[in-house]
Amino acid sequence: MTLLVTGGAGFIGSEIVALALAEGRDVRVLDSLRPDVHRTEHPAVAGERLPDGVGFVRGDIRDPDVLDGVLEGVDTVLHQAAKVGLGVDLADAPDYAATNVLGTAELIAAMARAGVRRLVLASSMVVYGEGAYVDDAGRRRRPAARTVRDLEAGVFDPVDETGQRLAPDLVTEEDALDPRNAYALTKLAQEHLVTTWARSTGGTAAMLRYHNVYGSGMPRDTPYAGVAALFRSMIARGEAPRVFEDGAQRRDFVHVSDVARANLAAADRLVHFPPSTARAFNVGSGSVTSVGAVAAGLARAMGGREPIVTGEYRLGDVRHITASSSRAREELCWKALVPLETGLREFAADGASAH
């Protein structure tokens, strides 16, 4: 089986490539080496985690000629290439749409031309918007977007129509989708495009909804770095990490090595999917933690200053989003293996050594 990993020189993509090679798989990489992600134009630096023997093509996912060339002889595509981040600033909306939506549209069109019928998509938890909640009666509820008035008043937890606080629950793949920023909208559009491709071609697809991915090699000091990387950089500079809201936001942090394993597990299972199937899977650790706890854990591991809880907020943020990954466990035979404490120690050491 020949795998094509789009975005294969990036944080998650390079981890997938390394694992695939370690398992003896044939791997090809397509990456544009965007400077806002890689902080360099030089492939030897941006792709430094790509081992020898990997077929590397530098090119844009939106270029049909590049795609036609790189897809020749490919059996399965693992589509990681994307512009990531919150997408709160509307000035970023055209780039999100062009990179994520148009890029995926060009990819599936090229796959149809090449006769490639298996696809693993890097989707995201952001397609859910706010996570799952239950009210005092135990009924499952989907709260409306938080209002500026409540956020300004420090009322961060979602409430029902009577003003009663809702309790967070684990989100499943059957929960309603409610993207609440530009990035989230493009990730959902990717899922719709992939579903259309599967129906049209008889192909099979696994759409992996990543939760908060972290680990060595995570982009640092870019506007699109994840919250764990932002905290780590602050601590390494001698600053106290700044935690928005009250720090109690619930998240599921999953190690990049576990995400790589999920991709290859999905690639292997695609041959058993019924034709024209595109199926979503949560990819999380199954361990619920808070943003404030991650900031504090990194500060301790790096010998840094205690976090400052600021009360600030971003309107595009959601309060709580944690995953049930039981479908992936049952259908992909996958589960996360790296405990958060172990992963954070490694992540902190990687950050300290880089400064």
Other Cβ atoms within 10 Å of 90 Cβ, number:
10
Per the annotation, the verdict on 183 as an active-site residue is yes
Who's near 268: CB < 8 A, 6+ residues apart?
Answer: none
Report how far apart, in Å, the C-alpha atoms of 116 and of each of 10, 107, 108, 261 are.
23, 10, 9, 22
Q: Widest CA span of the chain, in angstroms?
A: 61
Which tokens belong to 89? 């600033």
Q: Are 69 and 57 in contact (CB under 8 A)?
A: yes
- Catalytic residue of the set 96, 133, 183, 313: 183
Say how far apart CA 153 and CA 181 lie, in whole Å: 22
Say how far apart CA 252 and CA 318 lie, in whole Å: 13
Directed axis angle between helix 340-353 and helix 291-302, to 10°?
A: 50
What residues act catalytically? Answer: 183
